[in-house]
Amino acid sequence: MCGIFGVFSFSEENISKKIYYGLYALQHRGQEGAGIVVSNGKELFSHKGLGLVPEVFNEGNIQSLVGHVGIGHVRYSTTGSSVIENCQPFIVSSSLGNLAIAHNGDILNSHILRESLEKQGHIFTSSTDSEVIAHLLVKELLKTEDIVQSIINVSKNIIGAYSLIILYNNTLIGVRDPNGFKPLCIGRDENDNYYISSETCGIDVVNGELIRDVHPGEMILINKDGFNSYKFSDSLKTSSPISSTTCMFEYVYFARPDSLIDGISVYNVRRNIGKILAKEEPCDAHIVSPVPDSGVTSAIGYSEELNIPYYEALIKNRYVGRTFILPSQEERDLAVRLKLNPVKSIIKDKKVVLIDDSIVRGTTSRRIVDMIKRAGAKEVHLRIGSPKIISPCYYGIDMPTKEELIANSKSVDEIKDYIHADSLGYLSIEGLLKGIGRKSLCLACVSGNYPTDILCKFKNTDKYPNCNCGRL
Ligand code: SF4
């Protein structure tokens, strides 16, 4: 995950507040840290820290960031631990100027590239793959002295998922990898401010209008000379982002429902998914309820299709931050109760069909089913708005190893028993494609077919010391 946001203004001298609000709108994409870098044409100013956007920034530090062009990042860690050194944007200086980079995605061969850069004398300040991209770019810039050519050269050497926003000597640059795994879009407002954002909700919040999505394999440059687009991959032949392998989970779970991804409304997708799930896996229940928040829109679709009343049987506490690492079962149950609490008056003696977006390990689903049963439900049925997750993600979504994915080793019936549900049904892959309305998506975690080479960067590392995920 991670959220990235950039602004170039032709009319305003200070755009740092716009980046702040853009990051605020993208907060759901990462809550571990946030950062902003701006340029006034002569100097760079930056501030970053651990925590949520309003915890990292205040009136004082925002006012100290003065510039007409800048970029920002909200962090969710997949590579590198949760320490301030890993917060982005990263700044790398060279004789040709300053380069700042904000990255969403995961680079599969970053460990190999990093080793080689370190041997050449590059010094890293973080443990992230994003800094590897920054160093590669500076290395190429020193050779070519041309940012467009440097991005083209770097893209040939990196494998994986990368949506990037780069600030290079007063030019704002947006880059989307040839597969288009992560979303990236461009907008503009009536004051001639240009925006690049992970999602359209970031452009909405600053009162901008969506221009279009950045195409897979495309880079966008915005500077005093205007707006330019360059293709760096053949995937642009179709000139349509719909033909790329965008992460299907952006639609199912990650993105905000008020965003459009590659021109498709996330809200409409989730409602469609609910309707298709109702046709594929109907249930004779008294009430339909979502597991909040990502199950909400699909539960509405499911309820509409089967004419079963929609209720909120679980209430989410929106103010729960990070819980401690909980050693005992009792404490882990408490953490779930802290986040979700059942409405007993709605549930008592009812057959409840719960709609959730996915099952990963199965432990959270089991706690939720148990909670609804303890609240007096007669039966609890679970319907899932995505297919079974059977393989890990290597493209920037924090997932456990293959062995920890419950659907990798258990049948639907076995999972149903494990989570204590009265019945369980998943959306099919065909149903998912139909619900999203595109033929081409990344489906690797539900199909096992990866759209790129896989070089498992986690194998036998600190993060997954016993990784045995079955890939290389
Ligand atoms: S493997 Fe799954 S989670 Fe990862 S990018 Fe592909 S669809 Fe998304």
CB of 393 sitting under 6 A from ligand 1: yes
CB of 261 sitting under 6 A from ligand 1: no
pLDDT digits (tens, 9 = 90+) for 91-144: 988 888 889 999 999 998 888 888 889 888 888 888 888 889 999 999 999 999
Active site residues: 2
CA 349–ligand 1 middle distance (angstroms): 38
Tell me which amino acid residue 261 is.
Answer: I
Helix, strand, coil percentages in the chain from 3-state DSSP, rounded to 5? 35, 25, 40
Task: Determine which of 301-310, 342-351, 390-399, 424-433 has the lowest per-residue pLDDT on average.
Answer: 390-399
Predicted local confidence at residue 452, as pLDDT? 85
CB of 36 sitting under 6 A from ligand 1: no
Has residue 322 got a pLDDT over 70? no
> Alpha-carbon distance 420 to 110, whole Å?
41
Q: Are 448 and 390 in contact (CB under 8 A)?
A: yes
> Alpha-carbon distance 374 to 366, whole Å?
12
CA 134–ligand 1 middle distance (angstroms): 24
Mean pLDDT of the chain: 90
pLDDT digits (tens, 9 = 90+) for 416-456: 999 999 999 999 999 999 999 998 899 999 999 988 877 66
pLDDT digits (tens, 9 = 90+) for 80-98: 566 787 889 999 888 888 8
Has residue 458 got a pLDDT over 50? yes
Q: Supply the residue whose CA is at minimum distance from atom 5 of ligand 1.
A: 247
Distances in whole angstroms, Cα of residue 192 to Cα of each of 163, 173, 189, 215, 353: 24, 16, 6, 22, 49
Tell me which amino acid residue 293 is.
Answer: D
CB of 167 sitting under 6 A from ligand 1: no
Predicted local confidence at residue 472, as pLDDT? 43
CB of 248 sitting under 6 A from ligand 1: yes
Predicted local confidence at residue 368, as pLDDT? 94
Task: Set out the domains of the chain in order of their start, with CATH numbers.
Answer: 3-244 (3.60.20.10), 269-447 (3.40.50.2020)
CA 445–ligand 1 middle distance (angstroms): 5
SS3 140: helix
pLDDT digits (tens, 9 = 90+) for 202-255: 999 999 999 999 999 999 999 999 999 999 886 555 556 666 899 999 999 999
CA 232–ligand 1 middle distance (angstroms): 23
Ligand 1 pocket test, candidate residues 104, 182, 253, 395, most atoms within 8 A of CB: 395
Instruction: Taking the CA atoms of 53, 200, 152 and 45 in sequence, report the sign of the dihedral they define.
Output: negative
Strand partners, 389: none
Cα angle for residues 63, 221, 182 (degrees, 5° grid):
85
Which is it for strands 226-231 and 218-223: parallel, antiparallel or unpaired? antiparallel
Predicted local confidence at residue 331, as pLDDT? 72
Has residue 402 got a pLDDT over 90? no
CB of 432 sitting under 6 A from ligand 1: no
